[in-house]
Amino acid sequence: MEDKTDETFEQAPEPVVRPLLFRGRGATLRPDGRFESQRREVFDDGWSQEERDSEARLETELIIDTAKTVITENKSPDISFELSINPYRGCEHGCSYCFARPTHSYLGLSAGLDFETKIAYKPDAVALLRKELAHKSYRCRPIALGINTDGWQPIERKLGLTRGLLEVLAACRHPVSIVTKSALIERDLDLLVDMARDDLVHVMFSVTTLDRGLARSMEPRAATPQRRLDAMRMLHEAGVPVGVLFAPLIPALNDHDMEAVFAVAKDCGAEVAGYALLRLPYELADIFPAWLATHAPGRAEHVMSIIRQMRGGKVYDSRFGTRMTGEGEFAELYAKRAKLATKRLGLNKFRRALNTSAFRPPLAETNQLSLF
């Protein structure tokens, strides 16, 4: 019998990890949450093409989120608000860079594709808000609406939770600040105009680029940059104070657009403008670079190199005071550019103070009749 012990055999190639590409979705990964006890990795073994083609469209799934309270208190010293309300967890906009993605791990879900396809909503959010505002110990302070995830994301058309919350705030004359990248906010113009008369509202539009193609890949289900600007103009002309946020600023990808975004926003009625550096906490440190490698492979290494230079050699630095702007020469350059641009355009000359004196708490739900 022929001895084959010395015969060499060709080794099978290593499996190729390929991005998950779905129409209208931003993330290209579905990593397990950081609290899970096991880790899984999807790879292409050459047999799955038909399955991948059949999943070209990934539908949105709704999950009920039960909560005892709806108002969240913020204690971060570099955030301008103390209270916030988020009727949704997860966001259909699918922004590849969203700093809120890692919060989906608290639901046992992925910060990648799950974040934009499995949306948790609070069906009793309006009732909870009314109850909390009616509490005798409640002290009126401006509330930020839809900060962690966009309150006007596509599913809001169906559920109307943000509209309901805004109706309560308007009825109670409670001040609110808003950040959105959705043109759906035009739907609520009646409430916003009413609140603006008493200095109860301010709306900031997030505009990250004027390049429609880049926006489509970075923020696949958000309104186009032009639609956001059109909505900004509509609110301004109706008397609602508006501003613009260039956030996130991504080095070597969209940073060149900052001054142009400020200028166009000024023409649309913006009074204030600001920016924030890209933040990559937890799972986002893998999700965003994977998106970069898929959609901007020629720039990926350069982008991540500058981010590390601004974060002390790391992908992310969570320290208060620097997490929004970074450190070093690039950070100083961006700060100087923003200061010169806003000064030239006449932005940030003043900031409107939201009015807390008009607040009137809702009547507590009780069977007792009022004497008056």
- Per-residue pLDDT reduced to its tens digit, 84-112: 999 999 999 999 999 999 999 999 999 99
pLDDT at 73 over 80: yes
The CATH classification number of 57-278 equals 3.20.20.70
pLDDT on residue 6: 47
Closest among 210, 204, 295, 293 to 244, alpha carbons compared: 204
How large is the average pLDDT for residues 178-190? Answer: 98
Strand partners, 273: 244
Strand partners, 90: none
Helix (H, G, I), strand (E, B) or coil at 320: coil
Closest among 43, 119, 110, 37 to 283, alpha carbons compared: 110
pLDDT at 343 over 60: yes
Q: How far apart are CA 41 and CA 286, in angstroms?
A: 13
pLDDT on residue 17: 53
CB-CB neighbours of 197 under 10 Å: 10
Specify the range with the lowest mean pLDDT, choosing from 55-59, 102-106, 273-277: 55-59
Cβ contact 58:117 at 8 Å:
yes
At 70, give phi and psi (nearest 5°): -120, -20
- Helices and strands (H, E) in the chain, number of each type: 12, 10
pLDDT on residue 53: 44
pLDDT on residue 9: 41
pLDDT on residue 56: 65
pLDDT at 303 over 80: yes
List pLDDT tens digits, range 2-16: 444 444 444 444 444
pLDDT on residue 47: 56
For the chain, what's the residue count? Answer: 372
Which tokens belong to 343?
């000064």
Q: How far apart are CA 246 and CA 252, in angstroms?
A: 15
Q: Whole-angstrom distance between the N-terminal and C-terminal Cα of the chain?
A: 107
pLDDT on residue 98: 97
pLDDT on residue 41: 61
pLDDT at 325 over 90: yes
Specify the range with the lowest mean pLDDT, choosing from 52-66, 102-116, 154-168, 344-358: 52-66
Which residues of 105-237 form beta strands (DSSP E)?
A: 118-121, 143-145, 176-180, 201-206
Q: How far apart are CA 36 and CA 17, in angstroms?
A: 21
Helix (H, G, I), strand (E, B) or coil at 164: helix
Give the start-to-end residue ranges of the domains of the chain: 57-278
How large is the average pLDDT for residues 339-365? Answer: 93
Cβ contact 111:287 at 8 Å:
yes
Q: Report the share of the chain in percent with pLDDT over 70.
A: 88
Which of the pair, 62 or 368, is modelled with greater confidence? 62
pLDDT on residue 135: 96
Confidence of residue 241 (pLDDT cuts 50, 70, 90): very high
* Mean model confidence pLDDT for the chain: 91
In sign, the C-alpha dihedral spanning 42, 43, 46, 49 is positive
Which tokens belong to 11?
């080794």
Displacement of CA 300 from its chain's centroid (Å):
22
Confidence of residue 1 (pLDDT cuts 50, 70, 90): very low
Q: How far apart are CA 334 and CA 171, in angstroms?
A: 41
pLDDT on residue 19: 81
Specify the range with the lowest mean pLDDT, choosing from 1-10, 201-210, 359-368: 1-10
Confidence of residue 147 (pLDDT cuts 50, 70, 90): confident
At 144, give phi and psi (nearest 5°): -95, 125
pLDDT on residue 13: 47
Q: How far apart are CA 251 and CA 26, in angstroms?
A: 19
Say which residue the tokens 């759906």 belong to: 184
Q: How far apart are CA 354 and CA 101, in angstroms?
A: 30
Which tokens belong to 136?
């005798």
Q: How far apart are CA 171 and CA 188, in angstroms?
A: 14
**pTM beyond 0.85, yes or no:** yes
pLDDT on residue 364: 61
